Amino acid sequence: MGEFAIGQPVPRFEDPRLIKGGGRYVADMAFPGMAFGYVLRSPHAHARIRSIDTTEAKAAPGVLAVLTGADYKKAGFGDLPVPGGLKRRDGQPGYRPRYPALVEDRVRMIGDYVAFVIAETYYQAIDAAELIAIDYEPLPAIVSTGDAVRPGVPLVWDDCPNNIGFIQTEGNKEATDAAFARAAHVVKHDFVVNRVTAATMEPRGSIGVFEPTEGRYTIYTTLQRTNVFQTELANYVLKVPDSKIRVVAGDIGGSFGMKSAVYNEVALVLLGAKITGRPVKWVATRSESFLCDAQARDNVTEAELALDKDGIFLGFRAKIIAAIGAYLQVGMPAFTGNLGTLAGVYRTPASYIDVTAVFTHTQPVRPYRGNGRPEAGYIIERMVDLAADELGIDPAELRRRNTIPTSALPFKTSVTFTYDCGEFEKNMDLALDAAEKKSFEARRAQSRKHGKLRGLGFSNTIERSAAAGLEGAEIRFDRTGTVSIFSGSINQGQGHETAFKQIVCDKLGLDPDEVTYIQGDTDQVFFAEGTGGSRSATFSGSAFTMAAEKVETKAKAIAAKMFKVDLADIKFADGVFSSQKTNQTLTIKEVAKASLEPKNLPDGMEPGLIEKAIYTGKVASYPNGCHVCELEIDEETGEVEILRYNVVDDVGTVINPLLLHGQVDGGVAMGVGQILMEDIKFDEQGQMLTGSFMDYAMPRASDLPAYHVDSNPVPTKTNPLGVKGAGEAGCVGAMPAVANALVDALSVLGIKNVAMPATPEVLWRAIHDARAKRA
């Protein structure tokens, strides 16, 4: 079974079904008698609702129900979940506003939820929504994260002073201040990490079903975590036991963290199903997604790096204002949960980070691929390049002087994380060699002759993956000897089916064609935490490993009984049980069939070859690597072409190189997109200016080069497989690498930094402003 073993580049088992149109997405699902829902959204970012008249809408053709905030409240459904445990600067609990599924008297963002129309057809629901008469009193709005705490700006919530929801600090302020006091050099810079949206291939969607005889709800929706989602629905929204809710996820076309939350539409389709007695379906249009999806990033940072006369880092500090949006979603703190990445791979002895999270009249901010690590990696790696420029030291040499050596691991950084293993300097050496850095200046000179500015930038990045938690897995042999495996993780394109089949087939000597993969149904999967934070290979992979070991142990005992030999005499390899004391052999499929006959079982053993496992992870792992980007900027147009992109990643044990390459490629594309083009913008009244792909640019194949990805695996001992998460590493490394390459290209004009996104217009203006200053 070596061709399917761990480490083999097995093509994805999911792809043939999906390519042939066999996907089962929410938009594909249909149920008898299904009705359709449409959300009427606020045209104002901030307004008081004086009145709502739904009389005409209720009388419109095909309309089954029209729900307002008052109707929702009367039905007894609860608000959406809001996280707790956050603190204000005075130590008091953080501000936790209500999160209503439908607003009652005030809207706080463009696209806020005002009414829900249910009709026989989707278009009848839209037509009826246009008949709802609403009297709004527009109010001033605040949309700028950096300005949200200024005196006199509009408040998102009247009883939340200065719009400050919570704060978080990390590190040692006194030690950091002392480090800066004795520093020979202090490098300072302000950064703005702009707001982006996930723009998943599949928009969000939900179908609600209610069975009145059992009083049981079923929700088919787009998510990452079925069982946790089930409990949040039960506790906050429906106020029933978990057993009264079934959560089902079919195929998910991308999520990146955005789809994890219990969204308003989930509650609305369930209430609609209960009221109408029919399944109710809602699926977002692409334009609607810009208004109703949670968004990401959006923070402003004042950063400082202290160095001694030889360029050794003494201290780092940062003051950050991070966006919450209008409502506090479960999953916050989206940026502040991973402040440890600000330490980078460096020995900096003292750090202090101060984060203020603020409400604005904008969409909620939640975790998005990397969940704070790309922003933090961007800040520290840009600061290192700025310091190298200011001190006149080669950027690679400055990093080399400060990188944590392998001999110092495990190493506790000055910002929360403790790295257990890695070869950080080797990553950089391998990546720079692959990128042919030594001959770069010759290539730069050649580009200059053709009116192009060529730059090379790189980043030594590290992130946390698979934070402490639990995950379940089950392996179940049926009466024919074939296998079903049940995963607690939810696949949104990562290739979970392939990776988990590889693990199980490698351990048990099975053929993948005889293994059925099942996920995403709380009625079938016994225990699940779900997908997020690059945890699936660690948690689900380890759970499947444990379950497979249980299967092997039980099967060995059965084989020993059937062979009439001692357990120690049984050998298991490539799916076959054997013993040197007998010429008999049994395949694991044969043992599985035999396990259903009591005569074959040792005393006290239950029939059947069915094993479950819950893996408990207590310590995170730390994927790390080096990204090198080489690009050209056209001086006359500002157009950017990425010419080369090299990655050396340490993600521990590589389960499947093809899947790893795909994950790195996708992450890099997102990092490139944020630096060069993606941007959510609002005007001063809170109107969204980038509400479609006409205005919100996304990377295309022509914007990206062929990546060269190498691995330098240093397996971790924090989990049975030795894996470190790979899903977000590409994005963490790409943002600073591309930004550093842009600045390196522009450095001949004296430009030290470029705002993101560095669109052709932004770069063109920067080039012409620099020329004007020189003139």
Looking at residue 391, its amino acid is L
pLDDT by residue (tens digit) across 75-128? Answer: 999 999 999 889 999 999 999 999 999 999 999 999 999 999 999 999 999 999
> Residue 256 has what pLDDT?
94
pLDDT band at 334, cuts 50/70/90? Answer: low
- CB neighbourhood size of 111 (10 A): 23
Give the tokens for residue 271.
């209430």
- The DSSP-derived string for 157-172 is STTSGGGEEEEEEEE-
What would the mean pLDDT of 641-663 be, rounded to a whole number?
96
668 has pLDDT over 70 = yes
pLDDT by residue (tens digit) across 351-371? Answer: 999 999 999 999 999 999 999
Closest CA to 622 of 661, 652, 655: 652
> Residue 336 has what pLDDT?
67
Please report how the helices 395-402 and 373-391 are oriented relative to each other, as an axis angle in degrees rounded to 10.
110
- How distant is the alpha carbon of residue 764 from its chain centre? 33
> Residue 135 has what pLDDT?
98
> Residue 14 has what pLDDT?
93
Q: Is 416 exposed, middle or buried (0-12, 13-18, 19+ CB in 10 A)?
A: middle
In the chain, pLDDT over 70 holds for what percent of residues? 99
pLDDT band at 291, cuts 50/70/90? Answer: very high
Three-class DSSP category at 92: coil
pLDDT by residue (tens digit) across 192-216? Answer: 999 999 999 999 999 999 999 999 9
> Residue 595 has what pLDDT?
96
Give the tokens for residue 425.
């300097």
What would the mean pLDDT of 552-580 be, rounded to a whole number?
95
Q: Global pTM?
A: 0.95
581 has pLDDT over 60 = yes
Query: Which residues are within 8 A (CB) of 429 and not within 5 positions of it... i.e. 6 or more apart?
Result: none
Closest CA to 290 of 110, 150, 459: 110
User: Beta strand 205-211 with 216-221: parallel, antiparallel or unpaired?
Assistant: antiparallel
- In whole angstroms, give the CA distance from residue 652 to residue 632: 33
CA diameter of the chain: 94
Mean pLDDT of the chain: 96
642 has pLDDT over 80 = yes
> Residue 693 has what pLDDT?
95
pLDDT by residue (tens digit) across 366-377? Answer: 999 999 999 999
> Residue 583 has what pLDDT?
86
> Residue 2 has what pLDDT?
73
Give ∠ CA 269-273-275 in degrees, rounded to 5.
115
pLDDT by residue (tens digit) across 5-37? Answer: 899 999 999 999 999 999 999 999 999 999 999
- The DSSP-derived string for 319-342 is EEEEEEESS--BTB-TTGGGGGGG
640-650: strand order across its sheet: 452-462, 624-634, 640-650, 708-711
What would the mean pLDDT of 759-774 be, rounded to a whole number?
94
4 has pLDDT over 90 = no
> Residue 552 has what pLDDT?
97
1 has pLDDT over 60 = no
pLDDT by residue (tens digit) across 242-256? Answer: 999 999 999 999 999
Closest CA to 669 of 712, 713, 706: 706
What would the mean pLDDT of 257-275 be, rounded to a whole number?
97
pLDDT band at 305, cuts 50/70/90? Answer: very high
- In whole angstroms, give the CA distance from residue 345 to residue 341: 9
User: Beta strand 164-171 with 350-359: parallel, antiparallel or unpaired?
Assistant: antiparallel
